[in-house]
Chains A and B, each alone.
Chain A
């Protein structure tokens, strides 16, 4: 039991310790810094793999540390934790390589990678949290660790974005803090329990539970960028591309969505949430967010802005699935946690490659980029088609399950939302694809990267290209191989079968 808990702690420390070491590293120790970064990332991936096998075998992992009288810091691994932890570990390794390439020759890399590692440690901590208080602790650490990354460039715009980001996240953090203290006061510091642990309070404290649910959703909704709490996200796009990628695909936005999943399924339980009429409201908010995000994405002319609004819209799919509160809907929502992560990180890497290599920032500047950077453009296309939900790509798997989930709980209007958002997705993702492949570029490309570091062997620096192609391949594979047992979909089905007590799941 102790050893088993030690593994969880080691996973956490595998990025924390290198992070701290990097922070105090002199700027010119480039090799050592890269070594530490990659060692941490690979170690973490291996350890998460070990954990994954252990959990598959049915081992239990738990680590706890007394924090206050009656309240412990608890790390635990259930199948849902592993979904998020694996995603984080894989994407961290990839993003680290990308970030090393991206930030080559830029100043203050020690500071950047220090906070970068702290950020990932917090994300994995969130994944492995065994109760709400532990979740809150890592959630707030994530807020703080991300701020230096958002303001990394140090421009007035970056600092303004950072202020806005902190304003939103700290305020919501306090709402969350208050709600969690309140909930703990009522129900004790219980661990996450499939099916929830508040059943006994439903009779006596129905209204309080409803209020608390709203507070919790506000607390998580800011990071998950639910409308109308999303305004910080597009502005935070001033951050360097790897940060945006991490923010959108794994860390911040996903942490919010993951919190919502935890609260609905493991604190309240889908049954109680349905009973108290809480899921309907969440469903409506998710639907509005999906449509609103898509419309804003359509209007955005800046490529990164468009991707940011796309995130607003796509992350709401996760919330939508959870709020459907039927087994298929939950499968759709949870699997999108992974699918959206892989697809969105691909798109952000591509956007970063375009911007770094050719100085492309706007959609209309993409004319003919397919001929200059075919591989990146190919990755971009696959990512975008995945987002649109073209079969058999990852997004399709999600939407298919969400649609079935909606039918399962007789929420037909959700189908219309899905169809409409699919059309909108196509409307904002097809123009860059068409321009990229079919557009004509008359004047020569500006080559900021070539001017800075000289000619590159491939279409761009290999450390930018390889991670991009890797995540693109992964995102294609998750869709193609969705039927295989260890695919994200297979794993999510295991989660739902093993852990979830959802009304209507008898099969």
Chain B
């Protein structure tokens, strides 16, 4: 029997993808109007996602009823391409919509040159469309294609300012991304050779433990880790994210990296689930601890505002790795991990946008010479601080709730008798302290005595959007129940 919601959901998913592709195409065809198309589109996509989310939640609480698979052009898997909407995809689509709207509004102020605008908006809309496709693709090869779309547009945006540092950062970013994609593709090919299908659901049904699966798991995971800048293959992140224009940095650190992590999670919850052993989990967890310590140490040393934020991404993603062994003990912990990634994305995007405003006002972002601007722009510093509080995992923010749940999962493993669990708990709790230290480095100069200067004029968008997004990141503290419920509507996941 067909549920009434199902038709809605099917056309809703397909429509969302069609809409975001249409926007990208329109902006490419009419670059002069690209920013208008972009803003109208950002609002439209947000409204669309809101309705889609409401319909999706309404179709619950049975995961199978809510989750939707759409066969493109009515070609069913294994031959056709499937779009796949479940709680996980829905959550990330919503996150993307919110961050993208904020970034779009911010870019109205940030990218004001007419020529630059024509280049920026089409690239940005293609990136956004790529992300949307990434989250709903249910087919391994199609995932490769969306990964490439996201990577190439992201690289182009990093190089956008055209300075030597930007182009150099973009080049490094491109090489890393292409290597990651090829590694991922090699894994896809191996899986295809073994099972003869590419659809993730079909692959999951045939999942088993064998040498080919192991090889594929290593290749795909390594490739995605490279793209997600997970420790120890993270070194490219800071130069790329640090030298990109602020809205681009926000999207890279908030969404693009999260997208790669999303794929790792999806693969290990599905196709590779049988391969996960406790020892492997511990190894990943240790990498996470290393990432946390190393990223924080770099953030404490870095001399530039945006570098601090970029290194903080490396550190914060350490938590996601630490969560891996927790998931092996308590399978439902994956929801906590996704919630963490969501609030991190919101907070990190807000911090980057705020940093961009300060950088624009000062004409540079060297921390030592930034004090007068920080004192002069308290609103932006407030946004930076509020989002920073979320990164520290302190109340009243989304970060606090995420940290609470993560700590709960960590203590759960300790109580379940895992000795190494103590290390995870210490890392989860202590990481907040490190975050506090580097956030303080950015905020404290605002409280020093000294000259007060507002610097270059910035547009109202750049003044207010970081604050708005920081407030959203804080208010995410109230969204815990909703997000976790949405995530529970993921069939096949624990």
> Does chain A touch chain B in the assembled complex, meaning CB atoms less than 8 Å apart?
yes
* Beta-carbon nearest neighbor of B447 in chain A: A151
Task: Tell me the bound Cα distance from A448 to B447 in angstroms.
Answer: 25
The answer to whether A153 and B395 touch across the interface, beta carbons within 8 angstroms, is: no
The answer to whether B477 and A181 touch across the interface, beta carbons within 8 angstroms, is: no
- Would A177 and B429 be within 8 Å (CB), given that A68-B404, A137-B400, A185-B411 are in contact? yes
Task: Tell me the bound Cα distance from A177 to B412 in angstroms.
Answer: 15
* Beta-carbon nearest neighbor of B488 in chain A: A69
Task: Tell me the bound Cα distance from A166 to B432 in angstroms.
Answer: 12
Within 8 A of B (CB), among A162-195: 162-163, 166, 170-171, 173-174, 177-178, 181-182, 184-185
Q: Within the complex, what minimum Cβ distance (angstroms) separates B167 from chain A?
A: 39
Q: Which 8 A-B pairs have the closest CB atoms?
A: A154-B449, A137-B395, A68-B480, A174-B429, A151-B447, A181-B407, A154-B448, A140-B394
Task: Tell me the bound Cα distance from A23 to B480 in angstroms.
Answer: 28
Q: Within the complex, what minimum Cβ distance (angstroms) separates B308 from chain A?
A: 17
Write out the residue numbers on chain A whose beta carbons fall within 8 Å of the beta carbon of B400. Answer: 137, 140
The answer to whether A67 and B481 touch across the interface, beta carbons within 8 angstroms, is: yes
A–B complex contacts, Cβ < 8 Å, 20 sampled: A23-B382, A24-B379, A68-B401, A68-B480, A68-B484, A137-B395, A137-B400, A140-B395, A141-B395, A143-B394, A144-B394, A154-B447, A154-B448, A155-B449, A159-B447, A170-B392, A170-B433, A177-B403, A181-B411, A185-B412
The answer to whether B396 and A141 touch across the interface, beta carbons within 8 angstroms, is: yes
The answer to whether A174 and B430 touch across the interface, beta carbons within 8 angstroms, is: yes
Task: Tell me the bound Cα distance from A64 to B400 in angstroms.
Answer: 18
Tell me which of A71, A138, A143, A177 has the highest count of chain B C-beta atoms within 10 A of its own C-beta.
A177
* Beta-carbon nearest neighbor of A23 in chain B: B382
The answer to whether A69 and B481 touch across the interface, beta carbons within 8 angstroms, is: yes
Does A274 touch B at the CB level, under 8 Å?
no
* Beta-carbon nearest neighbor of B381 in chain A: A111
Q: Within the complex, what minimum Cβ distance (angstroms) separates A300 from chain B?
A: 26
- Would A136 and B481 be within 8 Å (CB), given that A177-B429, A181-B404 are in contact? no
Main secondary structure of the interface of B (DSSP, over half): helix
Q: Within the complex, what minimum Cβ distance (angstroms) separates B202 from chain A?
A: 32
The answer to whether A178 and B484 touch across the interface, beta carbons within 8 angstroms, is: no
Write out the residue numbers on chain B whose beta carbons fall within 8 Å of the beta carbon of A66. Answer: 481
Does A65 touch B at the CB level, under 8 Å?
yes
Write out the residue numbers on chain B whose beta carbons fall within 8 Å of the beta carbon of A140. Answer: 394-395, 400
Write out the residue numbers on chain B whose beta carbons fall within 8 Å of the beta carbon of A137. Answer: 395-396, 400
Q: How many A-B residue pairs have CB under 8 A?
A: 83
- Would A178 and B429 be within 8 Å (CB), given that A137-B396, A140-B394 are in contact? yes
Write out the residue numbers on chain A whose beta carbons fall within 8 Å of the beta carbon of B382. Answer: 23
Question: When each residue 424-455 of chain B gets 1 if its CB lies under 8 Å from chain A and 0 otherwise, what string results?
Answer: 01000110110010001000100111100000
Task: Tell me the bound Cα distance from A322 to B268 in angstroms.
Answer: 52
Instruction: Count residues of B near A (Cβ-Cβ below 8 Å).
Output: 36
The answer to whether B480 and A185 touch across the interface, beta carbons within 8 angstroms, is: no
Does A152 touch B at the CB level, under 8 Å?
yes
Question: When each residue 1-28 of chain A gets 1 if its CB lies under 8 Å from chain B and 0 otherwise, what string results?
Answer: 0000000000000000000000110000
Instruction: Count residues of A near B (Cβ-Cβ below 8 Å).
Output: 37
Task: Tell me the bound Cα distance from A148 to B382 in angstroms.
Answer: 11
Does B43 touch A at the CB level, under 8 Å?
no
Task: Tell me the bound Cα distance from A465 to B410 in angstroms.
Answer: 54
Given contacts A69-B485, A144-B389, A178-B429, 5 further A-B contacts (CB under 8 A): A69-B484, A162-B447, A171-B433, A181-B408, A184-B408
The answer to whether B480 and A166 touch across the interface, beta carbons within 8 angstroms, is: no
Within 8 A of B (CB), among A19-49: 23-24
Q: Within the complex, what minimum Cβ distance (angstroms) separates B191 from chain A?
A: 35
The answer to whether A178 and B447 touch across the interface, beta carbons within 8 angstroms, is: no
Tell me which of A71, A151, A155, A174 has the highest count of chain B C-beta atoms within 10 A of its own C-beta.
A174
Write out the residue numbers on chain A whose beta carbons fall within 8 Å of the beta carbon of B411. Answer: 178, 181-182, 185
Tell me which of A67, A151, A155, A163 has the highest count of chain B C-beta atoms within 10 A of its own C-beta.
A67
Write out the residue numbers on chain B whose beta carbons fall within 8 Å of the beta carbon of A68. Answer: 401, 404-405, 480-481, 484
Question: When each residue 35-79 of chain B gets 1 if its CB lies under 8 Å from chain A and 0 otherwise, what string results?
Answer: 000000000000000000000000000000000000000000000
Task: Tell me the bound Cα distance from A68 to B425 in angstroms.
Answer: 20
Does B378 touch A at the CB level, under 8 Å?
yes
The answer to whether A67 and B447 touch across the interface, beta carbons within 8 angstroms, is: no
Write out the residue numbers on chain B whose beta carbons fall within 8 Å of the beta carbon of A151. Answer: 444, 447
Does B478 touch A at the CB level, under 8 Å?
yes
The answer to whether B449 and A153 touch across the interface, beta carbons within 8 angstroms, is: yes
Write out the residue numbers on chain A whose beta carbons fall within 8 Å of the beta carbon of B405. Answer: 68
Does B415 touch A at the CB level, under 8 Å?
yes
* Beta-carbon nearest neighbor of B405 in chain A: A68
Write out the residue numbers on chain B whose beta carbons fall within 8 Å of the beta carbon of A178. Answer: 407, 411, 425, 429
Write out the residue numbers on chain A whose beta carbons fall within 8 Å of the beta carbon of B430. Answer: 174
Write out the residue numbers on chain B whose beta carbons fall within 8 Å of the beta carbon of A166. Answer: 436, 440
Q: Within the complex, what minimum Cβ distance (angstroms) separates B381 from chain A?
A: 10
Write out the residue numbers on chain A whose beta carbons fall within 8 Å of the beta carbon of B407. Answer: 177-178, 181
* Beta-carbon nearest neighbor of B385 in chain A: A144
Task: Tell me the bound Cα distance from A155 to B448 in angstroms.
Answer: 6
Task: Tell me the bound Cα distance from A122 to B394 in angstroms.
Answer: 14
The answer to whether B395 and A136 touch across the interface, beta carbons within 8 angstroms, is: yes
Q: Within the complex, what minimum Cβ distance (angstroms) separates B420 from chain A?
A: 16
* Beta-carbon nearest neighbor of A182 in chain B: B411
